[in-house]
Homo-oligomer: A and B are copies of this chain.
């Protein structure tokens, strides 16, 4: 029974196979995806897959190796960073992630490749997520030096912020745990907490919990 509707140029067909395979690898992982399924999804015979790729493993590697450029976003964030617009810097990153980038399939591929211990998973993760992470740590360090941020470890702070965003995406992608609020409200709440924290400052103004946390000795009751 005829599978491919019409003969297509080799590179076009290869791209279609890659697209079909990526979708299935994202959904089921490497081990859970069968080459018969990839062929069916691509609308070709199984044998044709092996005309284009030496093995299933090579097809998978080709997918992870694909560049997925940050679409001009890092340069925009860097521009805002140059102007020290703290809220905007964090907001642009928050809107991007909470708004759905990387997309669901890419999120799932990153996770599956890491869990399945694929040798390229570190590189894959770096290309898509850690690029913001590293930039943020540098920016936070600069703002601490400027006296605008309290003196925390920049890498920990960057991880805290990316953690809010990525965890939110994980809950929606893996557990369909959407929140009823619009994405804009959610991202702004994350930025607000990151900038200001939950606590309403006491009238002493600049009193900071970091001093209290660092010195866990007993304190006498304080009169206010």
* Other-chain contact of A166, B148, B163, B181 (Cβ < 8 Å): B163
Interface size bracket, A side: 35 or more
Copies of this chain, count = 2
Contact call A115/B111, Cβ cutoff below 8 A: yes
- Please classify the interface of chain A as helix (H, G, I), strand (E, B), loop, or mixed, using the class held by over half of its residues: helix
Chain B residues with Cβ below 8 Å from A175 are 114, 121-122, 125
Q: Is A212 an interface residue (CB 8 A)?
A: yes
Residue in A148, A164, A179 whose Cβ sees the most chain B Cβ within 10 Å? A164
- Give chain A interface residues in 11-30, CB to chain B under 8 Å: 27-30
Contact call A87/B212, Cβ cutoff below 8 A: yes
What are 23 sample pairs from A and B whose C-beta atoms fall under 8 A apart? Answer: A28-B116, A86-B198, A87-B209, A111-B174, A112-B115, A115-B115, A149-B199, A150-B199, A152-B189, A152-B192, A152-B193, A153-B179, A153-B181, A153-B185, A156-B189, A159-B179, A163-B163, A163-B166, A191-B209, A193-B197, A195-B197, A197-B197, A201-B201
